[in-house]
């Protein structure tokens, strides 16, 4: 007990520094969950995950993950834009990761239990060496044209 009383400042510094190390992990996941870009690809390939970019159309046209469907954040509440199967993993992506984290919370409330954000957003996707498309229309629309 004498040690705690004599060294309370040292203990406080240790506690604060520990909290500062843990805080980025807690904040990044937003409490809603996040996966790395490589884990996102695994979910797409093995569990038929759906990649959704919640960017605005201009941001989407500037560069997005290949195969991502553009559903702007403001339109997430429209069920026709989202898969009807709520058990599929939804992998949400945006230029910074912030909107994707908020979208996860919104979609989980709507019943999409496996909605997760791609940690780091589009830049992390690019840094992982995964393909980026700069066309404004999705690949499926190009194939039918």
| Phi, then psi, of 92 in degrees rounded to 5 | -100, 135
CA distances from 9 to 1, 2, 5, 14, 22 (A): 14, 13, 9, 9, 20
Along the 145 residues of the chain, how does pLDDT read in single tens digits? 888 888 999 989 999 998 888 776 655 544 457 889 999 999 999 999 999 999 999 999 889 999 999 999 988 877 677 888 999 999 999 998 889 988 998 998 888 889 999 998 999 999 999 998 887 655 444 444 4
**Domain range annotation of the chain:** 1-28, 31-137
Q: Which CATH class is domain 31-137?
A: alpha beta
Can you state the percent helix, strand and coil of the chain, rounding each to 5? Answer: 50, 15, 35
């Amino acid at each position: 007990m004498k040690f705690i009383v004599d060294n309370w400042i040292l203990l406080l510094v240790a506690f604060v520094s520990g909290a500062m190390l843990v805080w980025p992990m807690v904040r990044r996941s937003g409490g809603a969950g996040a996966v790395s870009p490589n884990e996102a690809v695994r979910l797409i390939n093995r569990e038929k995950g759906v990649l959704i970019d919640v960017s605005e159309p201009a941001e989407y046209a500037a560069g997005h993950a290949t195969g991502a469907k553009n559903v702007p954040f403001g339109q997430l509440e429209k069920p026709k834009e989202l898969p009807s199967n709520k058990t599929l993993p939804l992998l949400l992506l945006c230029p910074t990761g912030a909107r994707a984290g908020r979208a996860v919370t919104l979609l989980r409330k709507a019943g999409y239990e496996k909605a997760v954000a791609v940690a780091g957003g589009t830049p992390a996707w690019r840094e992982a060496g995964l393909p980026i498309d700069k066309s404004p229309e999705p690949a499926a629309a190009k194939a039918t044209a």
